[in-house]
Structure 1
C-alpha cells in the first residue's frame, strides 16, 4: 500500500510540475519573453528543460525523504560497496572455516564411530562384569554370614580364654603371694634363729664373764625406760635403719656402763627383729619427728640380758617458754592444808594437765618431769608467807615436746 501511494504522489507531483511548465512555456511563447537575452523559442525550451529538471529533482527528493533505501542508494553506495567487499571476504573466510569444520566434523564422526564401537565393546564387557559381580556378591553375602557365625564363635571362645586367663592370673598372684610369704617366713625364721644364737652366745658370755646370781637384785623393772630419743622421720630406709641401730647401740653401751662390764662388745640389750622391722616401716612412712622409747620388757636381774621393747610416738610441740601449764587458787587460811601438801597436790595437778596436753609420762612413776628440792622448798617457804587465797601458776621453762621432760617454774601471787 505504501508503494502504491508513493507512485500516486510521484505521478501527481510530476503531472502538476509538467502542467505548470507547459503553462509557463506557452505563456512565454505567447508573450515572447526572454531569459538571459535568449530568443523566445529558446527561452521556451529552457523553461521546458527546467520543468523536466524540477520533475526529476522533486521525484528524487520525495523518494529520498520517504525511503531510507533510496537515501542509502544515493548517498551510501560506496560504503555499501566497501561493506559488501568486507562481507565477501568474511564469507570467504567463513567458507574456509566451514570447510575445515566439515573436515573436523568428519574426523569427529569417524572418532565417534570408533568410540561407539569401543562403547559397545565396553558395554558388553560391563555386562559380563556385572554378571560376574552378581555371582561374587552372592558369594560375599554367603561369606559374610559365615564370618558373622565365626565371629560369634570367636567371641565365645575369647570369653572362655579371658576367663581362663583371669583364673591363671589369680592363681599366679596367689602363687606370688605364697612365694613372698614363704620368703618372709624363711627370713623371719633365719632372723629368729640368729637372735636365738646371739642370745645363747650372750648368755654364755654373761655366765662366763659375770658373777651370775639368779636370785640377785633386779636391775631393771618391767616397763622401765632405758632410753628416749627423738628420731626424724625419713623416707630413706637405709638412713632410718642406721639411726635406729645407733640408738640401740648407744643404749646397749649405757647398760654396759651401768653394770660396769669390762667387755664393751657384749650385746646386753636384745631387741626382736620383728619389732625392729616394724619400727623401721612406721618411721619411713612418716614425715614428722617421732619419739623412740626403749623400755625393759620384763624384770631383769643381774646376769641376764635385757629384753627390750621399742615404742614410737609422734613428737608434737606442746609448750612454749613461759606458757602456763596449770593455774590454781588455794586457800592458805587457818583450816587449810600445810604448804608442803598444797605444793605437792598442785604439782600432781600440773602433771595431770601436762599428760592431758600430750607429754609422755614415765611408765613406772607416771610423771612427765621433775622439780629440784631447792625449787620445791622455795615454793613451800614462799607459800608460808601468805594467809588467805593464793594463786599458784606453773609455766614451762623452755620449749617442750611430747618426749618431755617438762621443766616448770612456780609463780605465787597473793596478799601476805
Structure 2
C-alpha cells in the first residue's frame, strides 16, 4: 500500500510539472518570449529541458526523503562496501583457523588409530606367549613327575643303574632346558606387559589430547569481564580513540599474562573495528566520565583468540557516603528466623537494591560487592545478642559509590524495633 501511494505521488508530481512546463512552453511560443536574447523557439526548448530536470530532481528527492534504502544507495554505498570487505576478511581468517584445527584433529586421530592397532597386536602376542608358557609349565610339571618316578624306580631297581642314571641325566637335562625356557618366557612376558602398560598410558594421554582438541579447555566464559576502566567523555575524537586503544592494549597484556604467553607482542584480544568506532564516537559525545567494560563475547577455548566486546556505561554517583542502602526488621522471636540466614537474606536484598539503583553487577556472579567473613560473623553476633524481639538492620554506604562499584557497606544493628 505504501509503494502504491509513493508511485501515485510521483506520477501526480511528474504530471503536474510536465503540464506546467508544457503550458509555459506554449505560452513562450505564442508570445514569442526570449531568455538571454535567444530565439523564442530555443527559449521554448530550454523551458522543456528545465521541466524534465525538475521532474527527475523531484522524483529523486521524494524517493530519498521517504526511503532510507535510497539514501543509503545514493550516499552510503562506499561505507557499506568497506564494512563488507572488513567482514569478509574476518570470515577468511576464521575459516583458515578452522581448517588448521581440523588438520590437527585428523593428525591426532591417525596417531591414535596407529597406537590402538599396536596395542592390539602386542596384546595378541602377550596372549600367545602366555598360552605357550602355560603349556611349557605343564610339560615341566609332567617331566618333574616323570623324574620323581624314575628316581623311585632307580631306588627300587638298582640292578639297572646305568640305564636309570642315563634316563635321570636325560630327564634332568630336559628339566633344566625347560626351566631356562620358562625363565625366558617369564622375562618376555614382563617385557611385553611393560610395553602394554606404556602403550596404554600413551593411548590415554593421546585420547585426552584429542578431547582437548575437540572440546578445548575454556579460559574465559561468555560475558566474563576482562577489564574495567573509567575514561573521560567529551574529549576530541583523536584523544578518545587513543585512550580507548590504550585500554584495549592493557587488556590484551592482561590476557597474555593469564594465558602464560611469552611473546607480549601478540594480539590475542580481538575487537571488531565497528564496535571500536561506535564506542569512541559515543564516548566523545557524552559530557561526563564513562565506564568502559571489555567482556568476552563467547566461551574462549585455550589456543583460540579472545573475541572481546566493549560496553559503555555512564559513571553516575549512586550512593553518597553514609546514605542508607537497605533497611529491614528481623523478628528473632520467630522460629523461622535464624540470625545467619536472616543476615544472608538481607545482604541478598542489598545486592538487588544496588543493582536496581544502577551499580554494575559482575556479569557472571551478579554481585556488586563482597563482605569478608569477619564482618559477616560480627554482624551475626550482634544480631544474636538480642535473644528475642525485633531487630532493625541498616546498611549504609561507607563512601561515595559510583556505578562502576564496588559497593562497600557498613552494618548497623538496633534492638527494640517495631
TM-score range, shorter chain: 0.5 to 0.7
Work out whether residues 192 and 273 of structure 1, in 8 Å CA contact, stay in contact via their aligned partners in 2. no
Q: What SS does the corresponding residue of 1:390 show, helix, strand or coil? A: strand
Return the offset for 1:186.
3.4
Q: What TM-score comes out, normalization by structure 1 length?
A: 0.56
Distance 2:407 2:85 in 1: 43
Where do 1:11-410 residues align within 5 Å? 146-147=32-33, 157=48, 160=51, 163-164=54-55, 166=57, 170=61, 178=73, 180-192=75-87, 195=90, 213-214=212-213, 215-387=215-387, 388-410=389-411
For residue 257 of structure 2, give the secondary structure of its aligned residue in structure 1: helix
Partner Cα distance (2:244, 2:92) in 1: 22
Name the CA shift for 1:250/1:356 in 2 (closer, same or farther; >3 Å): same
Matched residue count: 271
Output one character per residue of 1:28-82: Cα deviation in whole Å (capped at 9) or x when no partner. xxxxxxxxxxxxxxxxxxxxxxxxxxxxxxxxxxxxxxxxxxxxxxxxxxxxxxx
Give the gaps of 5 or more residues in structure 2: 1-29, 105-208
Distance 1:182 1:382, change over 3 A: same
Deviations 1:188-228 (A, max 9, x none): 244335546776899989x99xx994334322111111112
2:192 is aligned to none
Structure 2 contact 269–306 (Cα < 8 Å) conserved? yes
Cα–Cα, structure 1 residues 145 and 199, in superposed 2: closer, same or farther, change >3 Å?
closer
Is the contact made by 2:330 and 2:337 (CA closer than 8 Å) also made in structure 1? no
1:284 is paired with a residue whose SS is helix
Q: Distance in 2 between matches of 1:197 and 1:265?
A: 23
Cα distance, 1:179–1:262 mapped onto 2, change above 3 Å: farther
How big is the shift at 1:337? 2.1
The answer (yes or no) to whether the contact 2:225–2:295 under 8 Å persists in 1 is yes
Mark the CA change 1:179 to 1:305 in structure 2 (over 3 Å): closer, same or farther: same
Deviation at 1:234, TM superposition (A): 2.3
How does the TM-score come out when normalised to structure 2?
0.56
Change (3 A) 1:264 1:153: same
2:362 aligned counterpart, secondary structure: coil
8 A contact 1:195–1:272 mirrored in 2: no
Q: Which has the larger radius of gyration?
A: 1
- Once residues 272 and 394 of structure 1 are traced to their aligned partners in structure 2, the CA distance between those partners, rounded to angstroms, is 42
1:222-272 C-alpha deviation (Å, 9 max, x unpaired): 111111222221251111111111111111111111222211111111111
- Tell me the C-alpha RMSD between the 2 structures: 3.8
